[in-house]
Amino acid sequence: MARFFASPGAGRVLTSPHVIAGGLIVAAVFLCALFAPWLAPHDPEDQNLIVRLLPPAWMAGGDPAYLFGTDGLGRCVLSRLLYGARVASYVAIVASFGAMLLGGVLAHIAGYFGGRTDWLIGRMVDVLMSFPPVILSLILITALGVGVNKVALAIVLVDWTRFYRVLRSEVLTVVQRDYVAAARLLGYSSSQIIWREVLPATTPLLITLLSLEMGIAVVVETILSFIGLSVEANVSAWGVMIADARNYVHQTAWNLVLPILAVFLTVLGFNLLGDGLRRTLDPRLALRVGR
């Protein structure tokens, strides 16, 4: 770790505007999620039917007690957004790490050993890739049942192929390098070589994909909670808020715009971070750009 921070790569990463902007947004979302119970001014499920559909506090008719206004049942939009960040962050972290583990492990095994294992996993990927991702997640949710953890599991089962496809071809090129051949000649076991020689070379790509996958996971969770297949009825999620707000589009746009903005900012954060990491962590790309 210490060696990483002293390397020129670390300087590149930590001064990249993409990484800084994305990192700040992502950190803010995670902090909101972590401290939601302390930050939220109201209970997110508390209905106050006297103050239904209030506009945000800065608009005419707004109530300073409800900074972002209230929804159709008189619930505090700000509090619901903060609690929604919990669901989003949870799914983003669990699902993307799961997909990374499954896809990464299989990619390294298939890329390193090749042969029949590679063929078999490749055909599995073909089958999964012949579904549009949304359709596959819907079918899996039908089978697995409803709930946040099921959603995370469905995302893992759908999206490990994203890691697999990219990482496998990277492993194939890394395995060709002389230092891997040298390690083989020195008599290291396959698992040692994968762990100590191949993995360090594929880690930049792994981290980049992880960041992008978190954004994808947030979107999928929003989709499934929008359709009503993710969280229980008494949990705030951004997709649920969007679905609720659709019934009131003619009265107020804020209820719809705010959760959409929350999804947008979160995904933008992950995308910026991933993009910045891709440009700065990969020495070849960084040299070509000329940083």
Partner 1 sequence: MSDVVRVLGQRFIAAVPILLVVSMLLFAVLRMIPVDPLALSVPPNATIEEIDKIRHDMGFDRPIAVQYVVWLQNTVHLDFGRSIQHRDSVAGLIAETLPATIELALFAIVIASALGLAGGLYLFHLRGRPGEVVADLASTAIMSLPEFLWGLLFILLFGVALDWLPFIGRLSPAFSRPVHSGFLLIDALIDRRFDIFFDALKHMILPAFALGLSFSPPIMRVLRSSLHDVYAEDYIQQARLRGIGEWRILVRHATKNAILPTLTLMGVQFSFLFGGTLLIEVIYSYPGMGNLMVEAVRNADLPVTQAVGLVYCIAVLFINAVVDAIYLVLNPKLRRR
Residues that bind partner 1 in the complex, under the rule CB under 8 A? 123, 126-127, 129-135, 138-143, 145, 215, 219, 222-223, 226-229, 242, 246, 249-250, 253, 256-257, 260, 263-264, 267-268, 271-272, 275
| CB distance 36 to 85 below 8 Å | yes
| CB distance 163 to 100 below 8 Å | yes
For 65, 120, 123, the CA distances from 153, given in Å and listed in that order, are: 38, 22, 21
- Contact partners, residue 227, CB within 8 Å, separation at least 6: 138, 239, 243
222 versus 280: smaller Cβ distance to partner 1: 222
101 versus 127: smaller Cβ distance to partner 1: 127
Shortest Cβ distance from residue 199 to partner 1 (Å)? 27
Shortest Cβ distance from residue 194 to partner 1 (Å)? 28
194 versus 258: smaller Cβ distance to partner 1: 258
Helix (H, G, I), strand (E, B) or coil at 137: helix
Shortest Cβ distance from residue 39 to partner 1 (Å)? 24
Shortest Cβ distance from residue 130 to partner 1 (Å)? 5
| CB distance 205 to 170 below 8 Å | yes
136 versus 175: smaller Cβ distance to partner 1: 136
Whole-angstrom distance, CA of residue 145 vs CA of residue 130: 23
Neighbours of 234 (CB within 10 A): 7
194 token code pair? 């994968």
85 versus 194: smaller Cβ distance to partner 1: 85
Shortest Cβ distance from residue 25 to partner 1 (Å)? 10
